[in-house]
Amino acid sequence: MGCEPPQRLVRALGEMYGDAAAADWLAGLPALTERALTAGDGLTVERVAAPGGRSSLVVLVRRADGTPGALKIAPPVAAPELERAALAHWNGWGAVKPLNVPGPAGDVLDASGVLLLERLHPEVSLRSLPEAKALLEAAGTLRRLWVEPPAGHAFESVAGRTERQSAGMRAAAEADPELAPLVEAALAARAELVEGEPELLLLHGNFRQSKVLSGERAPWLTVGPEPLVGERAYDLARLVRDRAEDLVASPGGPATARRRVKKLAESLEVDQARLHGWTLFRAVESGTRALAEGRRQMGEVNLEFAGWL
């Protein structure tokens, strides 16, 4: 069938969930993929999207009527059922659209945590554009996603997610006292922000330029949400840090980072101080988590970026 997972996925799963857990899920992946293809209303495989993402296998397929699609298979710990719920609520507005598989076949896909999505162009993301144009398109796409969450939703809150993440940040500071001042500043910012959270909207949760792909139905559509509910400033904070590796290599990096906060806050009508606080927290959280997972270069880039703020 030729659905071998890309090495990027294999490495990333081991970093995020541990080698044993990753190996267990990967061992069952061929059978899971076969069941999904069988249930998927006459799907035929074209190829695996490579290098692909860090949390799921994406297989480019065609339906029996010739419609192109993408079969996304993720481990249960990635909560694919929440991604499905968010994508269904957006229903294609600014995001990739789920393809309907009626009857028992659709039930099999849902129970397996497999998503059948419209085909985008995985090789063309906003990172292919010049930075200024990419940020403009990203901001416009993100704005569309900020809607009222569905009634009775199961999405966690920004306060809940960041409370869980705070434990790892504290552990990093204990292991390396040099990180303590930055971690303490980030945790203090979070405590103040969650106390006065102004809104509860459906958020992407992991929005950045590489999560926005070229499409046929619309020029740019987002993929790979890690949905939650909370304020817009939290969602926008990850976009502020995009292409941080380029900024770190630039002599004007610190000034550019601060200008981004101001410019994005103004363009999307988000409180600048709240965006600054969430950008600090998310940069420190990403940096300490990357260090814990053995991704030292990425960890240092994120922590350097946080230090500029």
Q: Where are the beta strands (DSSP E) in 119-172?
A: 121-125
Peptide bond into 225 cis (omega under 30): no
Helix (H) and strand (E) counts for the chain?
12, 9
Q: Where are the beta strands (DSSP E) in 90-163?
A: 114-118, 121-125
Element (H, E) at 229: strand 228-230
pLDDT, tens only, 231-270: 999 999 999 999 999 888 888 889 999 999 999 999 999 9
Q: Which of 54-68, 213-227, 261-275 has the lowest mean pLDDT?
A: 54-68
Cα–Cα distance measured from residue 21 to residue 19, given in angstroms and rounded to the nearest whole number: 6
As a whole number, mean pLDDT of residues 291-303 equals 94
The reply to whether CATH 3.30.420.40 applies to domain 126-308 is no
Structure tokens at 285: 């959280």
**Torsion sign over Cα 247, 267, 210, 203:** positive
Are 7-119 and 126-308 equal in CATH topology?
A: no
pLDDT, tens only, 69-127: 999 999 988 899 999 999 999 999 999 999 987 556 566 677 777 899 999 998 999 99
Structure tokens at 36: 């999904």
| Fold category of 7-119 in CATH | Phosphorylase Kinase; domain 1 (3.30.200)
Domain ranges of the chain: 7-119, 126-308
